[in-house]
Amino acid sequence: MPDPYRGLFLRHYLGDQPDRRSSLAWTDSPDIIANGTRPAEDPTIFTTRASYDREQANTVQVRQLNYVYVRGLNTTAGKLDARLWLYYASSNAVIWPQDWRQGGIFINDPEQPQNWVEITDLDPGAIGVSTPVFHWQADAPNAGAHFCMIAFAENPPLSYPPRSPKPVGSMGTWEELAEYVRSHPNMAWRNTIDVSSAGPTWTVTEPIEGAREGGEFNIGVKFKDMPTDGFFAFSVPGYDAGSTLVVPDPPDQKVRIPKSGTSIMLTLTWRRGFRSSISVSYWQGATRPPKGANIMPIIGVEEETLRSAPADGHRPAVELDLYESNKRGARFKATRMQVVGSIPFQY
């Protein structure tokens, strides 16, 4: 009987156990979760026993931005710090680990590729999930192939700077690859279903850095001269429901562009030092946007909050529509805010 595994455990199939190494299954890990083109509204759902005991999505939208979560079980007797890594490969090139790719994977900033996320202070017996989430701008697999997603858990002592855990050289045969995966309880493999569908005209992602001490802030978008026959969506991935924003409310994937001058702002609360991003997608209708039209992501702080921080009061406040929630028909109130960040996605 093999020695008990102690570390962050990634399953090879639903029902896999840390001390069980004999199964033939290895390509259908429920711990690599392809969440589609929008982040989970509350990623803590993936750390619940109900979610852990269910199969998870494995559909990838080709040539679109996908959100992928990786999770693992702490099998040690104490708190655990670990690092999760994500790769992908075309199914007809997987026996060569040098072809396991990471291009197109990032965390917050598409200009700074990164295919690892750290999990800290995970309680013994607890399930941890990658937050911030992995963003994957999927291209297309090789002709006649599908994607395979590959994840590793790096256990202490962690490498600094982070050093890729993927093996070097060729596996030689498919069976050699299978045996390698089956013998590593810190490794997960997931074959995907790849779908090509009509995606947005464009999606733009910009990084967001929260306040050093954390806290509450408002974020959203404002529209200028965008044709109202088009559609939009935006999202801010977080680590729980209060730190995450998905507009429109699922299952809707997009909503019609409102009249020029309209703003949609919602409130998030972030823990100290958290960083994320905002992704805005636009579907053009029959009318092309005129020159100068834009969708502008905005970060704002309410004017009432500023009164307690007079050092920041020199910036002028503007009136923006603050919504109670992302639910359809939610009430909103015109609220004066100081804009502390904005980036127009402009024509």
DSSP 329: T
Q: Report the chain's mean pLDDT, rounded to a whole number.
A: 91
Structural domain of residue 137, as residue ranges?
8-195
Q: How many CB atoms lie within 10 A of CB 52?
A: 16
Domain boundary among 165, 195, 225: 195
The per-residue pLDDT for 163 is: 96
Residue whose C-alpha is closest to residue 141's, from 104, 113, 86: 104
Residue 309 has pLDDT above 60, yes or no: no
pLDDT at residue 23, as a whole number? 66
Which residue type sits at 326? N
Rounded distance between C-alpha atoms, residue 277 and residue 275, angstroms: 7
Q: CATH no. for residue 211?
A: 2.60.120
What is residue 167's three-state secondary structure? Answer: coil
- If one counts the domains in the chain, the total is 2
- Calculate mean pLDDT across residues 137-150: 88
> Is the domain of 323 the same as that of 206?
yes
Q: What span, in angstroms and rounded, lies between the C-alpha atoms of 245 and 339?
A: 19
Judge if 212 and 185 occupy the same domain: no
| Nearest by Cα to 105 from 157, 75, 40, 149 | 149
Q: What is the pLDDT of residues 174-183, one digit of tens each?
A: 889 999 999 9
Query: Which of 163, 195, 227 is a domain's end point?
Result: 195
Summarize pLDDT for 273-296 with one digit per residue, the tens. 999 999 999 999 999 999 999 999
CATH code, domain with 17: 2.60.40.10
| Cα–Cα dist 212/273, whole Å | 5
**Same domain as 222, residue 126:** no
Q: Does 84 have pLDDT greater than 70?
A: yes
Average pLDDT, integer, range 94-98? 87
Q: How far is CA 46 from the centre of its chain?
A: 13
Give the pair of three-digit tokens for residue 228.
Answer: 């109202």
- Residue 189 burial by CB count (10 A; 0-12/13-18/19+): exposed, middle or buried? buried
Distance of CA 207 to the CA centre of its chain: 12
| 53 lies in some domain | yes
pLDDT at 305 over 80: no
Radius of gyration of the chain (CA): 22
Same domain? 42 vs 188: yes
Backbone angles phi, psi at 47, to 5 degrees: -100, 5
On whether residue 3 sits in a domain, the answer given is: no
Q: How confident is the model at residue 217, as a pLDDT?
A: 92
Q: Is residue 71 part of a domain?
A: yes
180 plus 213 within the same structural domain: no
Residue after which a domain boundary falls, among 195, 230, 254:
195
- Which whole number is the average pLDDT over 98-111? 94
Q: Are residues 163 and 206 in the same domain?
A: no
Q: Which amino acid is located at 111 in the chain? A: E
pTM: 0.93
**pLDDT number for residue 315:** 62
Q: Are residues 156 and 113 in the same domain?
A: yes
Q: How many C-beta atoms surround the C-beta of residue 305 within 10 A? A: 16
Cα–Cα distances in Å, from 274 out to 17, 23, 63, 99, 281?
Answer: 33, 39, 28, 32, 23
Output 13-17 pairs: Cβ under 8 A, ≥24 positions apart: 14/53, 14/54, 14/55
Q: Is residue 316 domain-shared with residue 255, that is, in the same domain? A: yes
What's residue 22's pLDDT? 60
Is pLDDT of 313 > 70? no
Whether the pLDDT of residue 340 is over 90: the answer is no
Q: Do 238 and 340 fall into the same domain? A: yes
**Average pLDDT of span 97-120:** 95
- Cα distances from 341 to residues 107, 202, 211, 281, in angstroms, run 20, 22, 12, 19
Domain shared by 34 and 60, yes or no: yes
Question: Is residue 2 a part of any domain in this protein?
Answer: no
Residue 188 lies in a domain: yes
Position 304 in a domain: yes
**Token pair for 245:** 């924003």
Q: Are residues 223 and 93 in the same domain?
A: no
- What backbone torsions phi and psi does residue 102 show, to the nearest 5 degrees? -135, -5
Cα distance between residue 24 and residue 8, in whole Å: 21
13 shares its domain with 42: yes
- Distances, alpha carbon 298 to alpha carbons 144, 208, 264, 303, 317, in Å: 43, 11, 9, 15, 13
pLDDT average, residue stretch 194-218:
90
Q: Is residue 1 part of a domain?
A: no
Cβ-proximal residues to 40 (8 Å cutoff; 6+ apart), any chain: 46, 67, 69, 133, 237, 244
In a domain, 91, yes or no: yes
Q: Is 67 left (phi over 0), alpha (psi -120 to 50) or beta?
A: beta
Q: How deeply is 269 buried, as exposed, middle or buried, from its count of CB atoms within 10 A (0-12, 13-18, 19+)? A: middle
Q: What pLDDT sits at residue 314?
A: 54
For 158, the token pair is: 């962690």
